[in-house]
Amino acid sequence: MTKLSMLESTNRLIDKALKYSDVSPDVAHRIKVPNATYSINFGVRLRNKIHTFTGWRCVHSEHMEPVKGGIRYDLDANLEEVEALAALMTYKNAIIEVPYGGSKGGLKIDPSQWTENELEKITRRFAQELIKRDMIDPARNVPAPDMGTGSREMAWIADEYRIMSPADINAKACVTGKPVGKGGIAGRVEATGRGVQFIIKEFFRNPDDLKKLKLKGTLKNKKIGIQGFGNVGYHAAKFLQEDDEAKITAIIEFNGGLINPKGINVEKAKLFFSEHGTFKNCPEGKFQEKTDDMLIAEYDILIPAAKENVIDQKNAKKIKSKLIVEAANGPISFEADEILNKQGVIIIPDIIANAGGVAVSYFEWVRNLRHIRFGRLEKRRNFTQLQSMIDAVESMTGKSMPKAYKDKFNNGVEEIDLIRSGLDDMMREAYQKVRAAMIESKIPDLRTAAYKAAIDKIAISYETIGL
Ligand code: NAD
């Protein structure tokens, strides 16, 4: 059985969507192929010798600039994968309406094999190579975290850009996902997982969609299986458990999984995994070393949040979950997608399901360019207005307003409240837009509808600027 690469899978999914679109073949081809991919080899002196590292940054589409997309650190990273991930960014950015083209970066490295100091050296050298080529720049190309990277790496990259471009007043906007004290924005670290939660909640607000899967009620006590307990998987699990009382019955990691039909305590499991690097002997559930069966076990919702192509033609037929929410990029191969659609599984595709990260990255980038935090100008004015309203109500009724109400008003709106509200709105809109495109164009599944809507939008942009 030959397995399609992620790039081949993505291209086939696009071709499928194009059947529902009026975009001409030449424009479609222009949209599909990446504009440029840089391969970079660079050396770093570590442990008394020069180590050569290989990395890539692909600019898939510049129909809008800057282009945007994460940088991943992974031993499996390769040029084709980076190109596929950059393509996903183009479609994702279009569908959630952030003003960016698509890009992605990768460095072939196992971060666990290097110390923090060594990783800093490697990251700074990689950043220098990218900055020199305008592959990191607030107006041209703005990376973010992805698999194997986080706010720490983004802080190193931002600092390297500042050193190399000291006169750029917008230097902080060269990368998003930075720590809060270094130009980052509250809510970015957990944004992708939070977005996964928001889009699932939106799905549950549509009784017709629930009916198709014979699901009822709210998320309370729904059984959820999560693959990948990193940034995205952990946060999605945590919010679904804490806010929505869903039951996380399985967590699958690369070196074994944890099962508990009564629901795993996500926070305790995270503490254990961070400390031991494995779920073996974790008291929160039953440890299982071989995880193939765990992915195909029965859940109301399966959330793959690790890496690409984990559901392929070999295991797709055995999947028993009704709803799959792609928190990871490309976790379902093209062939598996076809099989699952035939089985009646609903898939909320990656280009909307995990768009929360880029949505909040957008807020961070705008905040860096404005040089002022959101809500700063209005906060005091809103407070005074609310105070006048309380005074008016009290004087008209002759009663004093209960303290609990007053405290709520007096707390005002913090920046994090605005970020969450913006993210919630973008996730709801993305789901509704794709759902509407699916119904209107009689498209059988959400993924094809999402790609069609994104391609139509990008085509207008290309046609209006001329190719
Ligand atoms: P991460 O490195 O924080 O976490 C990934 C986790 O998956 C790790 O705990 C790792 O051990 C685990 N894992 C790796 N291979 C596995 C396997 N075969 N089976 C089970 N677990 C495995 O990465 P992340 O940032 O959480 O990203 C996860 C996915 O989400 C990636 O596909 C990434 O592209 C996508 N994504 C991330 C963001 C973001 O903001 N971080 C945004 C959009 C999409």
The single residue of 104, 222, 247, 322 carrying the catalytic annotation is: 104
Nearest CA to ligand 1 atom 41: 146
The predicted structure's pLDDT at residue 464? 82
Does the Cβ of 307 fall within 6 Å of ligand 1?
yes
Residue owning tokens 């094809």: 448
Q: Is 430 a member of any domain?
A: no
- The one-character DSSP state at 220 is T
The tokens for 72 are: 């991943």
Nearest CA to ligand 1 atom 24: 147
Q: Are strands 49-61 and 36-46 parallel, antiparallel or unpaired?
A: antiparallel
At a CB cut-off of 8 Å and minimum separation 6, what does 108 contact?
53, 54, 55, 74, 75, 76, 77, 78
Does the Cβ of 232 fall within 6 Å of ligand 1?
yes
Is pLDDT at 466 greater than 80 in this prediction?
Answer: no
Cα separation, 423 vs 196, whole angstroms = 11
Domain residues for 303?
191-356
Same domain, 217 and 311: yes
Instruction: Please give the tally of structural domains in the chain.
Output: 2
Cα separation, 239 vs 233, whole angstroms = 10
Residue 282 exposure: Cα atoms within 13 Å on the Cβ side: 30
3-state secondary structure of 183: coil
The predicted structure's pLDDT at residue 1? 61
Cβ atoms of 72 and 80 within 8 Å: the answer is: no
pLDDT in tens, 195-235: 999 999 999 999 999 999 999 999 999 999 999 999 999 99
Same domain, 62 and 179: yes
Cβ atoms of 203 and 303 within 8 Å: the answer is: no
The predicted structure's pLDDT at residue 467? 58
Q: Is 143 a member of any domain?
A: yes
Give the confidence band of 6 by pLDDT, cuts at 50, 70, 90.
Answer: confident
Same domain, 150 and 238: no
Q: What percentage of the chain has pLDDT greater than the value 70?
A: 99
Does the Cβ of 146 fall within 6 Å of ligand 1?
yes
Helix (H) or strand (E) holding 106, with range, is strand 101-107
Cβ atoms of 52 and 43 within 8 Å: the answer is: yes
The predicted structure's pLDDT at residue 379? 87
Q: How remote is the CA of residue 235 from the centroid of ligand 1, in Å?
A: 11
Lowest mean pLDDT among 130-134, 269-273, 376-380: 376-380
Residue owning tokens 């050298």: 125
Does the Cβ of 364 fall within 6 Å of ligand 1?
no
Residue 396 exposure: Cα atoms within 13 Å on the Cβ side: 6
Q: Is 421 a member of any domain?
A: no
Q: What is the mean pLDDT of residues 93-103?
A: 97
Same domain, 60 and 107: yes
Which of 154, 169, 184 is at the close of a domain? Answer: 184
The predicted structure's pLDDT at residue 410? 76
State the helix-helix crossing angle for 79-95 and 446-465, rounded to 10 degrees.
Answer: 80
Which of 127, 149, 184 is at the close of a domain? Answer: 184
State the helix-helix crossing angle for 25-32 and 6-18, rounded to 10 degrees.
Answer: 150
pLDDT in tens, 145-183: 999 999 999 999 999 999 999 999 999 999 999 999 999
The tokens for 242 are: 């804490």
pLDDT in tens, 323-338: 999 999 999 999 999 9
Same domain, 318 and 272: yes
| Residue 104 falls in the annotated catalytic set | yes
Same domain, 143 and 42: yes
Contacts 24+ apart (CB under 8 A), 113-120: 114/46, 116/152, 118/44, 118/46, 118/47, 119/153, 120/156
Is pLDDT at 91 greater than 70 in this prediction?
Answer: yes
Alpha helices in 291-355 (DSSP H): 292-295, 334-342, 350-353
For the chain, the straight-line distance linking the first and the last C-alpha, in angstroms and rounded, comes to 39
The predicted structure's pLDDT at residue 324? 98
The predicted structure's pLDDT at residue 3? 77
Does the Cβ of 141 fall within 6 Å of ligand 1?
no
Q: Which of the listed residues 146, 196, 311, 362 should we mutate to test ligand 1's pocket, taking the one with most ligand atoms within 8 A of CB?
A: 146
Q: How remote is the CA of residue 356 from the centroid of ligand 1, in Å?
A: 14
Q: Which of the listed residues 185, 232, 312, 423 should we mutate to test ligand 1's pocket, taking the one with most ligand atoms within 8 A of CB?
A: 232
Q: How remote is the CA of residue 217 from the centroid of ligand 1, in Å?
A: 30
Is pLDDT at 30 greater than 80 in this prediction?
Answer: yes
Cα separation, 232 vs 226, whole angstroms = 10
At a CB cut-off of 8 Å and minimum separation 6, what does 115 contact?
none
Q: How remote is the CA of residue 328 from the centroid of ligand 1, in Å?
A: 6
Q: Is 122 a member of any domain?
A: yes
Same domain, 175 and 216: no
Q: What is the mean pLDDT of residues 72-80?
A: 97
Which atom of ligand 1 lies closest to the CA of 307? Answer: 32
Does the Cβ of 285 fall within 6 Å of ligand 1?
no
Cα separation, 107 vs 72, whole angstroms = 6
pLDDT in tens, 109-141: 999 999 999 999 999 999 999 999 999 999 999
At a CB cut-off of 8 Å and minimum separation 6, what does 189 contact?
150, 151, 177, 231, 235
Mean model confidence pLDDT for the chain: 95
Does the Cβ of 192 fall within 6 Å of ligand 1?
yes
Does the Cβ of 305 fall within 6 Å of ligand 1?
yes
Q: How remote is the CA of residue 265 from the centroid of ligand 1, in Å?
A: 20
The predicted structure's pLDDT at residue 409? 77
Q: What percentage of the chain has pLDDT greater than the value 90?
A: 91
Q: What is the mean pLDDT of residues 408-427?
A: 91
The predicted structure's pLDDT at residue 380? 87
The CATH number of the domain where 240 resides is what?
3.40.50.720
